[in-house]
Chain A
Amino acid sequence: MELISSAPTGPIETRWERHRFEMKLVNPANRRKYTVIVVGTGLAGASLAASLGEAGYKVKAFCYQDSARRAHSIAAQGGINAAKNYQNDGDSVYRLFYDTVKGGDFRSRESNVYRLAEVSSDIIDQCVAQGVPFAREYGGLLANRSFGGAQVSRTFYARGQTGQQLLLGAYQALQRQVSLGTVELHERTEMLELILVDGRARGIVVRDMVTGEVSSELADVVVLCTGGYGNVFFLSTNAKGCNVTATWRAHRKGALFANPCYTQIHPTCIPVSGEAQSKLTLMSESLRNDGRVWVPKDKDDVGKDPSSIAEAQRDYYLERLYPSFGNLVPRDIASRRAKDMCDEGRGVGPEVGGQRRGVYLDFADAIERLGKSVVAERYGNLFEMYQRITGDDPYDTPMRIYPAIHYTMGGLWVDYNLMSNIDGLFVGGEANFSDHGANRLGASALMQGLADGYFVLPYTIANYLARASKSEVKSSTPEVKEAVKSVKKRMKQLLEIGGTKSPDWFHRRLGHLMWDNCGMARSRAGLERALEEIPKLRAQFWKDLRVTGSGSELNQVLERAGRVADFLELGELMCRDALHREESCGGHFREEHQTEEGEAKRDDERFAYVAAWQYTGSESEPVLHKEALQFEYVKPTQRSYK
């Protein structure tokens, strides 16, 4: 299989413009004849469904939550990047493009990234017009702040809840379309299978999570905006419901899964407190703008009250190691260094699993420099959240933070049009692999979700529909009936195992295997061990799972069982991908491949490609396909933030 990116060539500044002109359009009067399925109502899904509804298409949108407004984009705190250069500090589309390619450790497609930077400005305009209450200065103009991996202030924010405000903007636009009758919205509805007819994506099988009814939904094109797969680690900053099922089902139907091992660890999360922990909470990276990260110089001081440790006895290790970026180094570097400190025995906080896993994030200097009220204005709600969870007050004592799984750069492989290798299956937002390479910069996830939904997919989907032949599928079409039947059969199987252990029991074990072997640092030995253990755990799952209740009612155990079953397959693919990539890049750190200073060591000769895996069966090995990456504009160098 040859992977054709369909990315335009020629001067990068005009690629998207020329591509837009070359794409076909659908006449406004004809749009209502086309039905588009959008799965997921986060930033990408909600913005896309609203935009397509406005344009006149018939849209069916689906989410597993009880309201479209609750998709996990809502939890993003820090902000959204855009190359507005409102601060007159040297920003430009080209600089945002450059920073993103470099930040992604030269493992993304230049054309896609340039387009992302190009439409970033339009996103801010769109959101402000919708009434998103971004932070403002006293003159009434928009405020900005800086974020990790950048030396300009290009991040727009709405207190510590930028994700919620952007999602509400998109959700409100979506609800407006619902009231106008262009969008049919199905909440508490989960996609469990993709329907292919003649090799083309023509629908999905869904389960109504209240009645348990399984049915088919058909369309001319299917778009998955279903988010990332960080919950494979059990403990992550994702919402509890986030899952890989939609994209994994598509993968099993032939969609290639690209770079599954590229996962992002977020450096500023609240450390694990005990065995019953169900999720990890992120504290916005923006905290690193004013907070200083340190650990005691002396191992003997780790158990002491931090206020009793003298300035000279503290090691502000990020400022020491990276003088020019200091506490604002990119996420992967900040995370790995925190791990190093804890592995050296200089971590702080309580011991969990035999190690102190935490470093201090200290605001004492900021409070002295800016005053408590300014610090409260910037981070007040984050401080409150921290206090609610830990019982400590960060105005008085430093926060304790530790890295946690936060975002997954990998996802379904897509071309420049964001279409997967399956005809008529498009993928937007975190669910695709497209723009962040091996590491995502802060405040870029919101940007990508909205870029895909508002400004990229509406064009490329129209182009697809204008070119595709019109044909009808019905619920009685054999492929449709077969897909519905297979979903019912699988659910029956899960319900009938009759074992002794809950889905969470397996999920926690999978999470441990993944975190220990495919987490912040990976090695051949560890990955090989995980590749032995995961199939065993999977086999045990299908023998010893217990699902209570029935399929014809609201059944949260059944929902979880289906998701864990898919994670158990994905986890293996991630380890396989991590094992084959004999280099370190971005969020993928192989212990065997590091510089003398402990930085990631890429191997551009052998690995400057996208690894796209093809499913061949649950017990057979996947096939690797490669899309070579060319860097015409940003020449690969070793990233340096010193």
Chain B
Amino acid sequence: MQKTMNLVLHVWRQANSESAGEFKRYEAKDVSEHSSFLEMLDQVNERLIEAGEEPIAFDHDCREGICGACGMVINGQAHGPQKATTTCQLHMRQFDDGDELWLEPWRAQAFPVVKDLIVDRSAFDRIIQAGGYVSVRTGSAQDANMIPIPKPDADLAMDAAACIGCGACVAACPNAAAMLFTAAKANHLNLLPQGAPEADRRVRNMVAQMEAEGFGHCTNHFECMEACPKQIDVDFIARLNRQFLKAGLVARDRLASRGK
């Protein structure tokens, strides 16, 4: 027999980026413990539509924890109470009958609210545009096995590359910093020989863009790693800081900085 539960939700409702928002109270009834958190919201929304009210808008897509579209702050925690879990992978067995939940969008100056629980995360795309790539044209690659890469390096690059760009790190940070995201993206490429030629340039440009977007500074709270559904390690931030320092020194060396 499946366990079912009733919950009270206080959901942030905001019509668009211009208008003021407020919490509204809803009841979620007869929710199965096997339902996912978003399925619980689906049920609430279905009842709202039936009643002719506007459903709660939230971003979501793959619902298997990899696309990075979903995310909301649940009782003060980005992606909710379960460690290493996106909102879509959170299941109701993590909650109890009678629980009262407060649902908010990611809060950050660089992530303006679009509607209800949906925010604009295009700042992340612009950080990638600033240097989060390897400049290689289609068709110009050599054989894939020409450059052996030590397995530990490849594995570490993969650890960084696991970032899904959801923005929970920003939402969890008291300063709304995007250091974990930027560090993960830059280190994924910097760790590989293919990314090395552009490493200095990449680090300087991505950090500059991150600051231009209005993200705050990192003061080592490490809340980002706690909230990260892919558990990206804060040591990548330390590495980014070192790379940034080195890139800055290189930039002052007139000969070495030619062409960078």
Contacts and interface: CB of A to CB of B under 8 A. Distances in A.
Interface stretch (A91-99, A287-295, A366-374, A551-559): A551-559
Contacts of B42: 276, 278, 504
Contacts of B84: 384
A126 B141 contact: yes
A72 B67 CA distance: 7
B204 interface: no
**Which of A68, A455, A557 neighbours the largest number of chain B CB atoms within 10 Å of its CB?**
A557
A47 B151 CA distance: 27
B121 interface: yes
Contact of A140 (B38, B151, B161, B195): B151
B55 A548 contact: yes
Interface string B159-198: 0011011000000000000000000000011001011000
Interface stretch (A31-39, A127-135, A418-426, A567-575): A127-135
**Which of B40, B115, B118, B145 neighbours the largest number of chain A CB atoms within 10 Å of its CB?**
B145
B35 to A, nearest CB: 5
A133 B133 contact: no
A136 B151 contact: yes
Nearest to B143: A125
A276 B32 contact: yes
A239 B62 contact: yes
Nearest to B148: A140
Interface stretch (B46-54, B214-222, B235-243, B252-260): B46-54
B61 A72 contact: yes
Given A276-B32, A389-B91, A554-B16, A75 B67 contact: yes
B59 interface: yes
Interface stretch (B5-13, B96-104, B123-131): B123-131
Contacts of B50: 500-502, 546
A594 interface: no
Contacts, number: 228
Contacts of B155: 136
Contacts of A623: none
Contacts of B161: 133, 158, 165, 168
B201 interface: no
Given A70-B61, A176-B135, A133 B54 contact: no
Nearest to A390: B34
B105 interface: no
A131 B197 CA distance: 12
A142 B158 CA distance: 14
Interface string B79-91: 0001011000111
Contact of A458 (B91, B128, B138): B138
Contacts of A65: 61, 67, 69
A240 B133 contact: no
A128 B39 contact: no
**Which of B66, B139, B143 neighbours the largest number of chain A CB atoms within 10 Å of its CB?**
B66
A86 interface: yes
Contacts of B135: 176
B136 interface: yes
B151 A554 contact: no
A322 B114 CA distance: 54
B245 interface: no
B19 to A, nearest CB: 11
The range of chain A's interface size is 35 or more
Given A75-B64, A278-B42, A554-B115, A548 B49 contact: yes
Interface in A511-535: none
A282 B65 CA distance: 12
Interface string B1-30: 010000000000001100000000000000
A9 interface: no
A241 B70 CA distance: 12
A554 B115 CA distance: 7
**Which of A54, A137, A279 neighbours the largest number of chain B CB atoms within 10 Å of its CB?**
A279
Contact of A178 (B15, B54, B68, B129): B129
A389 B148 contact: no
A454 B138 contact: yes
A335 interface: no
Given A65-B69, A274-B35, A172 B132 contact: yes
B34 A273 contact: yes
A240 B63 contact: yes
A281 interface: yes
A66 B192 contact: no
Interface string B112-123: 001100101110
A504 B68 contact: no
A69 B68 contact: yes
Contact of B35 (A128, A239, A276): A276
A133 B192 contact: yes
B69 A70 contact: yes
B63 A129 contact: no
A341 to B, nearest CB: 23
Interface string B135-154: 11111111111011111001
A146 B259 CA distance: 45
Contacts of B145: 84, 86, 141-142
B166 to A, nearest CB: 10
A279 B84 CA distance: 21
Contact of A70 (B40, B67, B143): B67
A576 B64 CA distance: 32
A164 B61 CA distance: 14
A122 B141 contact: yes
Given A70-B69, A276-B32, A554 B157 contact: no
Contacts of A454: 138-139
A283 to B, nearest CB: 10
Contacts of A274: 2, 32, 34-35
B13 to A, nearest CB: 13
B130 A179 contact: yes
A197 interface: no
Contacts of B75: none
B219 to A, nearest CB: 27
A131 B93 CA distance: 39
Contact of A239 (B45, B61, B134): B61
B69 A502 contact: no
Contacts of B136: 126, 129-130, 173
Contact of B55 (A178, A458, A556): A556
Contacts of B158: 133, 135, 158-159, 165
Given A125-B142, A131-B194, A133-B157, 5 more contacts: A66-B120, A84-B145, A140-B154, A176-B133, A554-B57
Interface of B: 2, 15-16, 31-32, 34-36, 38-40, 42-43, 45-46, 48-50, 52-55, 57, 59-69, 82, 84-85, 89-91, 93, 114-115, 118, 120-122, 124-125, 128-130, 132-145, 147-151, 154-155, 157-158, 161-162, 164-165, 188-189, 192, 194-195
19 contacts: A50-B138, A67-B125, A69-B125, A70-B62, A72-B61, A126-B136, A135-B158, A159-B162, A163-B66, A164-B66, A172-B134, A237-B64, A239-B67, A273-B34, A278-B63, A279-B64, A389-B36, A504-B42, A548-B52
The 6 closest A-B pairs by CB, nearest first: A140-B148, A129-B141, A172-B133, A125-B141, A179-B129, A128-B144
